Structure 1
Amino acid sequence: MDRDILLEALSTLTGARVKPYTELQARTVAGPQTLRGGIVRQNELTIDNYLTTIFGVGYGPLVSGQVLKSVCTPAEKELFVNMEQLFDQQFDYDFRSGSDSSRPSRGGESYSRPWGWYRCALRVLNKYPGGNAWLGSPGWREESSPGEWPVSFHGTSIEGAKGIPGSHYKPGPGQVYGRGIYSTPDICEAIQYAKNFTFRNKTYRVIMQNRINPQNRVQTSRKDYWLISIPEGTSPAKEKEIVEASIRPYGILIKEM
């Protein structure tokens, strides 16, 4: 996948202008005055803050899109990313052509492979405590692996979640099943909330592919909506803890329209 397309996809998901890390390095060399408020590190998007940035929860060097807005003027609403450290190309997969009639499972749930999309893998191997069982065994397979988490898709960015009371994902017109983060095992459903972007006169769509902890997932009255519950009044530190233990993006899906 073209690096510039990936940067546009990240910009769409975060609501910021995502640029290569080399630009931040150049500005740092030029002088600290080029980044007001001493927020050089706060402007970095890394695998460590990717999850909380996308979902807008927790705290840290870069908390979320909302915090980014509070410390930067609109002209400074930028993030800088080292692509080699954020992505892990060995696990990319091109689903743009092909199909199959099988119904594989992941984490004991039915999984529909995202045919028509290109998956750019995030560098999440060995990132979380407890090992990599949540990702399942690598390679093409039909059955779930022991300890594996089910797959879910998430199509709404922080920007897209504005005005959605109590949630980071809109479950449908007038239907909110509780405060927290929504995702769906049905990519066709996630597409309704996908964000589009244009690059070199071509339009693309972007969706996140996640693994979701079956012990922390709430299955709503709609089978195709899963909720990670974050009660009102939860502290930022607890929000971060809940999210990291419950839902983990491991790929970005991109499709040319």
Structure 2
Amino acid sequence: MFQDLDLRAEVISAICGQKVKPSDTETCKTRANVLSFDEFHLHQCLRNLQPHVGYLEDEKEILDPPQHYSSYLSDSAGCGKYFGIVQGHLKKVEIELFIDEKDFFDPQYDYDFTQLSDSAECMRGGEPYKRPIGWYRMALKVKDKYPDGNTWLGSKGWRSHSVAGEWPVSYHGTSSDGAKGIINSQYMAGDGAVYGRGIYSTPVLAESENYAKIFQSKKTGKSYKVILQNRINPERREVCRRSDYWLIPVVAGTSASEEKEIVEGAIRPYGILIQEMK
């Protein structure tokens, strides 16, 4: 079921908030509105800028994105062809997008956790890691994508121990509702954060579920929730006072290109977790 291309496109649609359809590689070469994986990642970085942990308990204001992103988003290298800028705010452009499934997903690394009952802790990147029991992981096409190689991913297959050079696991929810949670910021820095300005995620799956995106599939008629599973660079991560939140610091005044470099070198999504709602 989770291998279905139409359902996978619906997952990307739900995360992006934009209609997305699957297409093959050759057809994508002739289409104008093709969303690449890199653009998807960039969109997730820029869509919401206020992290959940950036709120005081009595604060409800949503901060505007930094103005330097207006020009960055509007150029052809960013998401400007899909998302316009109106007075500093992202505004969705209602067009139909297409994805090359081979550019997004790497099914050989999918993993079905739905039938597992063993929740024993293991280690990833020197940090405790509990497998996401009850979820199915759609692997993203990240192997050989970054110039520093694949060590950050660790070795393939089940193991209880860490391997040298791999990064710990963290999670982002994908909902744009409610408290504008840590995953709403989707790897983008938020201003005025209680624990500092930067990129927030959580090593605790249950915490990220508070911000999971829920959608109903037209293909199956069922409802699902989705969460992004990441690896986070331990050399750039800080543990917040609440140890279930991790921060990648991004100082105020950092340029758009520098923030993009920080994102790519510090936190990388490698899977989409999906679970059927009961």
Partner of 1:45: 35
Q: Does the CA contact (< 8 Å) of 1:210 and 1:247 recur in 2? A: yes
Secondary structure (helix, strand or coil) at the match of 1:214 reads: coil
Deviates more, 1:223-232 or 1:52-61: 52-61
Q: Does the CA contact (< 8 Å) of 1:47 and 1:124 recur in 2? A: no
2:82 aligns with one of 50, 68, 73: 68
Q: Distance in 1 between matches of 2:178 and 2:199?
A: 10
TM-score by length of 2: 0.76
Using a 3 Å threshold, how does the CA distance of structure 1 residues 241 and 26 change in structure 2: closer, same or farther? closer
Q: Distance in 2 between matches of 1:120 and 1:135?
A: 15
Partner of 2:14: 12
1:214-225 alignment to 2 at 5 Å? 214-225=234-245
Partner of 2:185: 168
More helix by share: 1
Shift of the alpha carbon at 1:24? Answer: 10
Q: Distance in 2 between matches of 1:133 and 1:161?
A: 36
Using a 3 Å threshold, how does the CA distance of structure 1 residues 238 and 176 change in structure 2: closer, same or farther? same
2:100 aligns with one of 52, 60, 82: 82
TM-score by length of 1: 0.82
1:23-172 alignment to 2 at 5 Å? 25=27, 28=30, 40=32, 43-56=33-46, 59=72, 61=76, 63-64=78-79, 68-70=82-84, 76-157=94-175, 159-160=176-177, 168=185
Q: 1:231 aligned to 2:251?
A: yes
What is the aligned length?
239
Q: Distance in 2 between matches of 1:8 and 1:245?
A: 28
Q: Deviations over 1:13-38 (max 9, x none)?
A: 11221122359948957xxxxxxxxx
Partner of 1:255: 275
Percent pairwise identity: 49
Partner of 2:52: none
Secondary structure (helix, strand or coil) at the match of 2:269 reads: strand
* Gap regions ≥5 residues in structure 2: 48-68
Using a 3 Å threshold, how does the CA distance of structure 1 residues 160 and 244 change in structure 2: closer, same or farther? farther
Q: Distance in 1 between matches of 2:154 and 2:178?
A: 30
Partner of 1:241: 261
